Amino acid sequence: MAKRPLINHMKYIYSSICVLFFACSSPDKPKTISVETPISKETNHEKIEAIYYGVPSPMETTIILKNNCPIFSNDVLFPDIISGHLNNKQSTAILLGIISADLNYAILSDRPHETSILMNKVINLAKLLHLDAVVNENIKQRVENNLSNKDSMQIIIGNTFWEIENKLKQDENYKSSAMIITGGWLEGIYLACKMAKLYPENHGINNVVAEQKFVLENLIELNSEFKFDEHIHELIINDLIKLKSIYENVTIEYTNPKSTSEEENSNEIVIGNYFNLKFDVQDIEKIDNLVNELRNKVITQLL
Amino acid sequence: MRYLLLIPLLALSFSLSAQCRKFAKENCKESLQNYIPSGQSNTAELKPGERYQFMVTFYKGQHYRVVTCSDPKLGNLQFTIRNAKRQLYYDNEGNENRTFDFKVASTQQLVISLLIPKSAEANSDELMGCVSAIVGFRL
């Protein structure tokens, strides 16, 4: 959805000047997109344009997490807070994102008891954001009817969160939408870091933490479209930017110089570059420390 | 003073995009079929010759479907997928293919572009319509 189009327009005129200026020194940065040589027939239409940013849903992130580390730990779930005390829309939206990620984690881990509790929390938080037309007792009933069917629950929850995002955008409530996404991402990376700490030998889970480098870049760009409340900016946005600087240590090592668009077995098309992410244990520890700090701030100062 | 001048322009922009707010749900979502929406829907209001592009992170190992749709009055929608260096991986070349199923070689950011072709028709500058794209993943 076009957000603040006029502001975007001005922002990208500025960005474009910066891109032209820095293009030679940082060719890998996504913002070079608008000045690189285009390849297809759309050449004739080429002009400097805005680019919007998307972030995978907390559900998708928790699926990746569970694929790499199937263990469930109740201790890592977000602690109970009294949501009745929430009087700020943006803080409520962050909490809704966080609890949604925990809900997905419980669903994927076949934890019906936790799923039921977290579903109730999601419903209560959605009410505070006037989203009860989307998340309500009907959804809860559908989830409970499918507690033994993980796939069905995921489909219900995945579609429900897409509907939430659409409803918020229809209501021009873009900031809440961005905060739900931010909260979901924050809890997803928190869970990944905890698992990485518990199972340091599990390269897959460490890699999941490292891969969040890309998602974080998009998340920061997405949030940069909005002016959030000052306390949100101080507590959350500033730390995300600090986290990005830690992620500079996670580097890309191309394993095949050619990028691909080829058919793999069973007629599946595989696209993109082949590369590995290079990082060491200390990088993951630094990421874990800052994510921990950020989540504690959410618990103690934001809510 | 200049901010006062911006207010009506901003209001106009929002009211225009309001026409497209339900577009993805009503026109695109069904084509996802058994794929679950990942992240946000991306909708914009475009004129012929204009392009909307967004960057998304795709995870290695996941099966993805990108679904695109546009207001029929805008003509054929060109839909491309590139990496951050603009290497082209998919181009529907403005034909009828509105969906693309794929996996990625490594977890990475890709740019999805939706382009409305320039129209030779008179008054095409006044033509405007909604375009949308949804990314879904398969369980």
pLDDT tens digits along A265-289: 667 899 999 999 999 999 999 999 9
The span from the CA of A1 to the CA of B42, in Å, is: 5
Contact (CB<8Å) A57/B53: no
Using the Cβ of B39 and the Cβ atoms of chain A, whether some distance falls under 8 Å is answered with yes
Q: In chain A, which residue's Cα lies nearest the Cα of B62?
A: A64
Residue of A216 and B38 predicted with greater confidence: A216
What is the pLDDT at residue A47?
Answer: 44
Establish, for the pair of chains A and B, how many residue pairs have beta carbons separated by less than 8 Å.
Answer: 205
Write down the pLDDT at residue B92.
Answer: 96
CB atoms within 10 A of CB A260: 17
Provide the pLDDT for residue A8.
45
pLDDT digit string, tens, across residues A105-120: 999 999 999 999 999 9
**Alpha carbon distance A130, A168 (integer Å):** 9
pLDDT at A29 over 90: no
Rounded mean pLDDT, B44-63: 94
pLDDT for position A227: 95
Confidence category of residue B119, pLDDT binned at 50, 70, 90: confident
Of B29, B55, B94, the CB nearest to A30: B55
Q: Which sequence spans correspond to the domains of chain B?
A: 2-138
Is residue B132 within 8 A of residue B69, CB to CB? The reply is yes
Q: With beta carbons under 8 A apart, name residues in chain B contacting A221.
A: 55
- Is pLDDT above 70 for B19? yes
Integer CA distances (angstroms), B138 to A3, B38, B65, B98, in order? 28, 10, 8, 18
Confidence of residue A260 (pLDDT cuts 50, 70, 90): low
Largest CA distance in chain B: 53
pLDDT at A39: 36
Contacts of B9 in chain A (CB under 8 A): 6
**Six-digit token string for A3:** 């957000």
* Neighbour-count burial of A24, counting CB atoms closer than 10 A to its CB (0-12 exposed, 13-18 middle, 19+ buried): exposed
CB of A181 within 8 Å of any CB in chain B?
Answer: yes
Q: Which DSSP helix (H) or strand (E) runs through A260?
A: strand A251-263
Structural tokens at position B85: 């260096």
Instruction: Flag if A272 and B61 touch (Cβ within 8 Å).
Output: no
Signed CA dihedral, A301, A210, A214, A60: sign only: negative
Share of chain A above pLDDT 90, in %: 67
CA A249 to chain centre: 20
> In whole numbers, what is the pLDDT of chain B averaged over residues?
85
The whole-number pLDDT of residue A257 equals 63
Chain B nearest C-alpha distance from A45 (Å): 6
Q: Which of residues 51-110 of B touch A (CB under 8 A)?
A: 51-59, 61-63, 78, 80-91, 93-94, 100-110
Say which residue, B16 or A87, is predicted with more confidence. Answer: A87
d(CA B73, nearest CA chain A) in Å: 19
CB contact under 8 A, B87 and A181: no
pLDDT given for residue B22 in this prediction: 87
Residues 6+ apart with CB under 8 A from A153: A107, A115, A143, A146, A147
- A166 and B41 within 8 Å at the Cβ level: the answer is yes
The secondary element (H helix, E strand) that includes residue B91 is: strand B88-91
Residue bearing the bigger pLDDT, A158 or A15: A158
> From the CB of residue B63, how many other CB atoms can be counted at a distance below 10 Å?
13
- Going by pLDDT thresholds of 50, 70 and 90, the confidence category of residue B122 is low
Tens of pLDDT along B60-116? Answer: 999 999 999 999 999 999 999 999 889 999 999 999 999 999 999 999 999 999 999
Distance from CA of A233 to the nearest CA of B (A): 22
pTM of the full structure:
0.84
Residue A259 banded pLDDT, cuts 50, 70, 90:
low
Contacts of A4 in chain B (CB under 8 A): 10, 13
pLDDT, one tens digit per residue, over A56-103 is 988 898 999 999 988 899 999 999 876 556 778 999 999 999 999 999
CA distance A296 to chain B (A): 25
Chain A positions in Cβ-Cβ contact with residue B108 (cut-off 8 Å): 214, 272-273, 275
CB-based contact B138:A292 (threshold 8 Å)? no
Q: What is the reported pLDDT for A58?
A: 84
**Fold of the domain built from segment(s) B2-138:** Jelly Rolls (2.60.120)
| CA quadruple A192, A193, A198, A200: dihedral sign | positive
Residue A169: per-residue pLDDT: 87
Q: For residues B87-112, b (16+ Cβ closer than 10 Å) or e, as one string?
A: bbbbbbebeeebbbebbbbbbbbbbb
Report percent pLDDT > 90 for chain B: 68
A224 contacts A290 by C-beta, under 8 angstroms: no
* Cβ atoms A190, A76 nearer than 8 A: yes
pLDDT by residue (tens digit) across A4-19?
Answer: 443 444 444 334 333 3
The rounded distance, in Å, linking the Cα atoms of B15 and A137 is: 33
Decide if A179 contacts A232 (C-beta within 8 A): yes
Which chain B residues contact residue A272 at CB under 8 A?
58, 83, 89, 104-106, 108, 110
